Amino acid sequence: MAKVEAEQTGVSEQRLRDFLREMLLIRRFEEKVEERFRAGELPGFLHVAIGQEAVAVGVCAALEEDDVIASTHRAHGHTLARGTSPNALMAELYGKLEGCSRGYGGSMHLYDVERGNLGANAVVGGGLPAITGAALAFKFRKEPRVALAFFGDGATNIGTFHESLNLAQLWQVPAVFCLENNWWAESTPNKQHSPITDFTQRAVAFGMHSLKVDGQDVEAVHRTASEAIDHARRGDGPVLLVADTYRLVGHYIGDPQVYRPKGEQQELRKTEDPITKLREKLGVSDEDWEQLDAEITQEVEESVEFAKNGTDPQPEDALKNVYA
């Protein structure tokens, strides 16, 4: 069984085991979300990131406590990886006051300001400009902090992507733009939405530093994200970090995926599951795996209990928080 060499990789075996736990927590959490949504318990519009866990975990683990992130409509993984508890997240999905957005946000609008989560965004590209702005504030105040935006391949086609990267590079702010390339923008494959396949080329237009990584390999993600974040924190300018990954599910929960080649997803599940890859790399025994899985499954179950026992907002609460 492969023993991971700390010197070689810079990521200790213990750390990788922690990553495995986190990735599995995200997976089981999202599977539970799918299940509860189908059971009619969860309102709203939900997108899970099954298959993309290594990006969320590897990148967030490379951030410091004072750093900030902005996320997307596919936000559960980023939010958990940034330290929000499964309880607070599940409570949000159930629309409870104990939720990380107090029931005001929902799945596509997860906030947790204490943990540097400035918000998931239901508007594609909506979060990028504010990440440039947050980084600008850090630069103004000479704080050694980094602002990081998650977004998808589809988001590279919207104006805010180009404007934010240009401003960030022009102003040399400590921002990292983390592109999760899962090859699809809803039903639209990359070849239908982008004339180029290598997204690092987008950075060239702005003279921005860029890095690319296999997003199914959490260790590589962590190493490369650390490099990007250090680059930004040192004052060497923003970075476009491209992680190639796979969406092993539909665009949203319930998506029949009529547009997707038959069998593609099943095949990818066999070859590109980041959790299986890490488990194999670490040589986790069946026994250890089952124990880990049982603990996590229990934790997720408890989050559902917590959420169901949470406090419903009063109808009139809807009129609060409109203004500061």
Ligand X SMILES: Cc1ncc(C[n+]2csc(CCOP(=O)(O)OP(=O)(O)O)c2C)c(N)n1
Of 155 and 165, which CB lies nearer to Mg ion in the complex structure?
155
> Which partner, other proteins, ligand X, Mg ion, none, binds residue 74 by CB below 5 to 8 Å per kind?
ligand X
Distance CA 66, CA 94 (A): 28
**Which spans of this chain sit near other proteins (rule: CB under 8 A)?**
43-45, 92, 95-96, 101, 103-109, 121-126, 154-155, 157-159, 185-188, 192-194, 258-259, 312-319, 322
What is the C-alpha to C-alpha distance for residues 319 and 156, in angstroms, rounded to an integer? 35
Q: How far apart are CA 157 and CA 196, in angstroms?
A: 11
Kindly tell me the burial class for residue 34, based on how many C-beta atoms sit within 10 Å of its own C-beta (0-12, 13-18, 19 or more): middle
Q: Is 324 helix (H, G, I), strand (E, B) or coil?
A: coil
Q: Are 200 and 210 in contact (CB under 8 A)?
A: yes
The C-alpha torsion from 282 through 210 and 76 to 108, rounded to 10°, is -170
Give the one residue of 86, 99, 105, 152 binding Mg ion; rule: CB under 5 A: 152
Q: Which stretch binds ligand X (CB under 6 A): 11-19, 128-136, 149-157, 163-171?
A: 149-157
Task: Considering the complex, state which of residue 46 and residue 278 has its C-beta at the smaller distance from other proteins.
Answer: 46
Q: Which residue stretch of 26-34, 70-78, 179-187, 271-279 sits at the interface with Mg ion (rule: CB under 5 A)?
A: 179-187
The rounded distance, in Å, linking the Cα atoms of 91 and 9 is: 37
Number of Cβ within 10 Å of residue 6's Cβ equals 13
Classify burial at 39, counting beta carbons within 10 Å of its beta carbon; exposed 0-12, middle 13-18, buried 19 or more: exposed
Which residues ranging from 65 to 84 are in contact with ligand X (CB under 6 A)?
72-74
Q: Using CB under 6 A, which residues numbered 160 to 199 contact ligand X? A: 182, 184-186
Nearest to ligand X of 231, 247 (CB atom): 247
Output the smallest distance, CB 249 to other proteins, in A.
15
Residue 55 C-beta: closest distance to other proteins, Å:
20
Does an H or E element contain 180, and which?
strand 175-181
Q: Going residue by residue from 240 to 279, which x/- string records binding to ligand X, judged by CB under 6 A?
A: -------x---x----------------------------
List 124, 167, 168, 275, residue binding ligand X (CB under 6 A): 124
Nearer residue to ligand X within complex by CB, 123 or 294: 123
Shortest Cβ distance from residue 100 to other proteins (Å)?
11
Q: Single out the residue of 92, 112, 153, 272 in contact with Mg ion (rule: CB under 5 A).
A: 153
275 within 8 A of 20, measured Cβ to Cβ: yes
Near ligand X by CB under 6 A: residue from 86, 99, 152, 238: 152
DSSP bridge pairs for 179: 151, 242
The CB density around residue 313, as the number of other CB atoms within 10 Å, is 16
Footprint of Mg ion on this chain (CB under 5 A)? Answer: 152-154, 182, 184-185
